[in-house]
Amino acid sequence: MTAALATEVAFAGRLRIAAGRIARSGLGQKPVDGMTPSRMTALAVLAAEEPLRMGELAARLGISAPTVSRLVDHLAELGFLERVADEDDHRATRVRLSAEGHRGLAAVREHGATRLADRIAELDDAERAALERALPVLERLA
pLDDT for residue 86? 84
DSSP, residue by residue, 65-99: HHHHHHHHHHHHHTTSEEEEE-SS-TT-EEEEE-H
For 53, the enclosing helix (H) or strand (E) is: strand 52-53
Q: Would you kindly state where each structural domain of the chain is located, as residue ranges?
A: 3-141
Q: Distance between CA atoms of 109 and 61, rounded to whole angstroms?
A: 19
The mean of the pLDDT values for the chain is 88
CATH number for the segment(s) 3-141: 1.10.10.10
Is the full-model pTM beyond 0.75? no
Instruction: Please give the average per-residue pLDDT across 7-18, as a whole number.
Output: 91
